[in-house]
Amino acid sequence: TDADSDDGPDAGALRTPIVAVLGHVDHGKTSLLDKIRGSAVTAGESGAITQHIGSTAVPLDVISKMAGDLVDPTDFDLPGLLFIDTPGHHSFSTLRSRGGALADIAILVVDVNDGFQPQTLEAVDILKRTATPFIVAANKVDTVPGWNPNPDEPIQVTKEKQSDRASSDLDEKLYEIIGELSDNGFSADMYWRVQNFQANVGVVPVSAETGEGVPDLLTVLMGLSQRYLKEEMSVDVGGPGVGTVLEVKEARGFGTTVDAVVYDGTVREDDQIVVGGLNGPIVTDVRALLKPKPLAEIRTEQEFERVEEVAAADGVKIAAPDLDSAMAGAPVRVVRDQDVDEVIEAVEAELADIAVSTAEEGLVVKADTLGSLEALSGTLEEHEIPVVRAEVGDVAPRDVRVAGTANEPTNRTILAFGVDVLDDARDLADQEDVNVFENDVIYQLIEDYEDHVEAIETAQQDQILDNITRPARFQILPDHTFRQSDPAVVGVEVLSGTVTRNSNVALFDGAEPERVGRMKSIQDEGEDVDEARMGDRVAVSIDGPTVGRQIEEGDELWTELPEKHAKILEQELKEDIPGDEREALGLYLEKQRNRDPFWGK
């Protein structure tokens, strides 16, 4: 290969590596991308960097200008880097290709002050699962107290110029990040100490605000790609295009279009293509290939122009009939020199690959893209949460109906990840008592669901407890007979457990408990109450006995426990009842089992 090649991304047979940016919200993903794009525009004169659909290509010569002394362009023969514009693991998982992540390499952005946060962990999980090489941008170094910014300088140069205090403050924060990476199974170090980037994750301190460390970041990305991705970057430039749908969108004058990233081969106007859709592969003909017009400014309203051909790696908007049911995250394949059935089969196989396993009974899961559906389902599986239906698309009434058929109350649930809940679906969910949880963060969604399950389980236990006779042992106080019979009214002290109304009252005289009557009411200082707890002294009226005959002052009385209740209490609720109730239960069982060792077992 011509080592001096600094042509655009179409040159040679090596394609541009695709770079994704991941990390926790507010850690600076967007700022970092903006900084890279901004400096690229400055370094490259107008027209040198090109805005693509959903991505920005930065050619090698621009990178080498940005990186200053750090990059010698003659060391490289990859054409540059293609940055995916929408940061976050959400789009990262959308961007899948056959066999894994579409991004060849990733930047994990971590705020040096905040360290690892839930979405950082989530991103690390995804990078691990997809075996994507990555580097860590330890961002916001300019916020270290006492930091004197040196805009756009390499990090070691600017770090040298800082006070000892600021420099060691930064080191401390960086080592925390290195420790977190190690806790998550990645051996890591400052990038300048890393010899083998395949075995170790390089940490690059940067500031998306001042540009410090950005030259290093680009150098490391370029070096990593060159050294370890070169083989994967060899593509058949003339071959039929293969790509991934990023978004399905209306475009004025073109109807429904798909924004796609082409990662292999070429797509031409008039090509026949097969696109993964909600109801299976869509076979259609390209009507137009659209790209944003060359731009002077980055974030202007985009205007499209037609192109005849796009080659990997590149972003493009494809206009074609019948794209309404196309799915974000699904494959796009050009049919050229092959049988259309072969290509349909290939697309079907890719879709089946993504299909998530479902159970007989479980939750309904809806997500905005195939990739996110896969990521969410994967995490649910790790949490051993069963899924009955997993689909791409907004939450519709039919999803609610499926969730409504669940037997387990905890399964009457829909998890909605990055999608809308249609109004009629929301109404139906209210009626059908189906819970819909919405979130754009997988961890949060699952945490909300698990909290909900816990609440349901607690409520269920409370309800069981409500219907179970509570154990109690109480004593008639001397000189506290207020009425002898019909009903007997006496003062009692609860020795252990909980005395409740409408329970049967028993007395152990011989071996057998003897029912003496029924607890009709309980009065505490003249007020009717439902129960009395251990230590309470209350007046109780008992229907049935006469004081002086069946019961006497000083007698120890019991709440009679039906055998079935005693069994449930002992076997299932023992941990949920207070200690004194447990004591009353134990004593009651002991008395019963003296007579019949198998009572309540």
Positions in the binding site for ligand GDP (CB under 6 A): 23, 25-31, 87, 139-140, 142-143, 207-209
Of 143 and 461, which has the nearer Cβ to ligand GDP? 143
C-beta separation of 470 from 559 below 8 A: yes
**Residue 282 to residues 60, 245, 273, 400, 411: CA-CA distances in angstroms?**
37, 13, 8, 27, 33
CA pair distance 546, 543, nearest whole angstrom: 9
Within 413-512, strands assigned E span 413-417, 435-439, 472-483, 488-500, 504-508
Residue of 239, 289, 210 lying closest to 52 (CA atoms)? 289
What is the smallest separation between the CB atom of 437 and ligand GDP, expressed in angstroms?
A: 23
Of 206 and 387, which has the nearer Cβ to ligand GDP? 206
Instruction: Could you list the residues known to form a binding site, using ranges.
Output: 23-30, 85-89, 139-142
Residue of 416, 415, 410 lying closest to 454 (CA atoms)? 410
Of 90 and 470, which has the nearer Cβ to ligand GDP? 90
What is the smallest separation between the CB atom of 392 and ligand GDP, expressed in angstroms?
A: 25
Residue of 394, 385, 393 lying closest to 363 (CA atoms)? 385
Of 213 and 517, which has the nearer Cβ to ligand GDP? 213
What is the smallest separation between the CB atom of 27 and ligand GDP, expressed in angstroms?
A: 5
What is the smallest separation between the CB atom of 87 and ligand GDP, expressed in angstroms?
A: 6
Residue 388 tokens read as 């009955």
C-beta separation of 259 from 53 below 8 A: yes
Q: DSSP for 201-264, please give it.
A: EEEEE--TTT-TTHHHHHHHHHHHHHHHTHHHHB--TTSBPEEEEEEEEEETTTEEEEEEEEEE
Residue 417's CB is within 10 A of a number of other CB atoms, namely: 22
What is the smallest separation between the CB atom of 110 and ligand GDP, expressed in angstroms?
A: 10
Of 27 and 317, which has the nearer Cβ to ligand GDP? 27
Of 53 and 110, which has the nearer Cβ to ligand GDP? 110
Of 139 and 372, which has the nearer Cβ to ligand GDP? 139
CA pair distance 81, 313, nearest whole angstrom: 9
Residue of 309, 310, 334, 326 lying closest to 258 (CA atoms)? 326
Of 31 and 379, which has the nearer Cβ to ligand GDP? 31
Residue 193 tokens read as 């100490």
CA pair distance 214, 109, nearest whole angstrom: 12
Q: Which one-letter amino acid corresponds to residue 406?
A: A
Of 25 and 355, which has the nearer Cβ to ligand GDP? 25
| Peptide bond between residue 313 and the one before it cis (omega within 30 degrees of 0) | yes
Residue nearest to ligand GDP (CB): 28
Of 30 and 42, which has the nearer Cβ to ligand GDP? 30
165 phi and psi angles, rounded to 5 deg: -60, -50
The burial of 14, by beta-carbon neighbours within 10 Å (0-12 exposed, 13-18 middle, 19 or more buried), is given as buried
Long-range contacts for 126-132 (Cβ within 8 Å, ≥24 apart)?
Answer: 126/22, 126/89, 126/92, 126/93, 126/101, 126/375, 127/22, 128/184, 128/185, 129/378, 130/96, 130/100, 130/101, 131/100, 132/20, 132/100, 132/101, 132/103, 132/104, 132/105, 132/106
Of 108 and 248, which has the nearer Cβ to ligand GDP? 108
Of 143 and 521, which has the nearer Cβ to ligand GDP? 143
Q: DSSP for 367-420, please give it.
A: ESSHHHHHHHHHHHHHTT--EEEEEES-B-HHHHHHHHT-SSGGGSEEEEES--
What is the smallest separation between the CB atom of 50 and ligand GDP, expressed in angstroms?
A: 22
What is the smallest separation between the CB atom of 53 and ligand GDP, expressed in angstroms?
A: 20
Instruction: Could you list the residues known to form a binding site for GTP, using ranges.
Output: 23-30, 85-89, 139-142
User: Which residues have C-beta within 8 Å of that of residue 235, sequence separation ≥ 6?
Assistant: 13, 14, 15, 264, 265, 312
Is residue 59 helix, strand or coil? Answer: strand
**Residue 130 to residues 125, 126, 439: CA-CA distances in angstroms?**
9, 6, 23
CA pair distance 355, 601, nearest whole angstrom: 47
Of 13 and 25, which has the nearer Cβ to ligand GDP? 25
| Peptide bond between residue 487 and the one before it cis (omega within 30 degrees of 0) | yes
Residue 23 tokens read as 């990390």
CA pair distance 457, 463, nearest whole angstrom: 10
